[in-house]
Amino acid sequence: MSALTLEVAVKLTGQALAAGRETHCAPLTVAVLDCGGHLIALQREDGASLLRPQIAIGKAWGAIALGKGSRLLALDAQQRPAFIAALNSLGQGSVVPVPGGVLIRDQGGTVLGAVGISGDTSDIDEQVAIRAVEGVGLMADAGVAV
């Protein structure tokens, strides 16, 4: 696969929401971006709070922008806060540096896009994202083993 299609993105959001229901997550919002950072699919469960779409997109966008899962961006934010502040300034506030943004890779390792999930704790959001990506037969790259 050389590009993330709408069909795959919609399947991915469905996988994520199903995984969230199986694990009794709080209402989730799932955003899928292509490798250029453009939104392909967004689903927000009933009861998800107001800013969840922007947070989910920000997690995925940050992963695409820096080529690493948002868990690593969270570490960067702790270790290099000035860098993250500058990055957010350049990205017009689009980066949310907390776990839940996961790169989507094909079997050859090429980045196809990213998924961002928001609604539960960041660690659970990330776990759901990984399950969703793997559920559609692609490789999830959160940057570190969880």
Domain of 105, CATH number, reads: 3.30.450.150
In tens, the pLDDT along 98-136 reads 999 999 999 999 999 999 999 999 999 999 999 999 999
- Whether residue 23 lies inside any domain: the answer is yes
Helix (H, G, I), strand (E, B) or coil at 117: strand
Neighbours of 19 (CB within 10 A): 22
The 3-class SS string of 13-55 reads HHHHHHHHHHCCCCCCEEEEEECCCCEEEEEECCCCCCCHHHH
Range of the domain at 35: 6-141
- Whether residue 146 lies inside any domain: the answer is no
Question: What's the pLDDT score for residue 146?
Answer: 45
- Whether residue 22 lies inside any domain: the answer is yes
Write phi, then psi, for 40 (nearest 5 degrees): -105, -45
Q: Rounded to two decimals, what is the model's pTM?
A: 0.93
Domain count, the chain: 1
- Whether residue 20 lies inside any domain: the answer is yes
